[in-house]
Amino acid sequence: MDCIFCKIVRGEMPCSKVYEDDKVLAFNDIDPQAPVHVLVIPKKHYGSILDIKDDEMDIVAHIHKIINKIAKEKGIDKTGFRIVNNCGEDANQVVKHIHYHILGGKKL
């Protein structure tokens, strides 16, 4: 599939990896908007939250569990951070593989 995040998952494109398990991958955003700017994605391709069926929603809870872990490891759990998931046109979703931005390390 011609999806840059799938290519990153398959190791066909490099990334600055922050976390990986069998279901998710987290890596630093290539164009960081804050001192901490990590993207967390499911390894399975979903275009957006709209493509995740009710019986597959466990992956969203898992992603949030990993977001908590990364926030603590990066030390932004005390200062606060933003979790952003852009979905579709009006939200300016550029990469059509669902991803959660973790933004922190400064006053946003």
Binding-site ranges for ligand 5GP (CB under 6 A): 4, 15, 27, 29-31, 39, 86, 92-95
Minimal distance, residue 57 CB to ligand 5GP, in Å: 20
Cα(67)–Cα(70) distance, integer angstroms: 5
Q: Which residues of 65-98 are buried (b: 16+ CB within 10 A; e: fewer)?
A: ebbeebbeebebeeeebeeeebeeeeeebeeebb
Of 55 and 99, nearer to ligand 5GP (C-beta) is 99
99 is catalytic: yes
Among 43, 44, 45, 69, binds Zn ion (CB under 5 A): 45
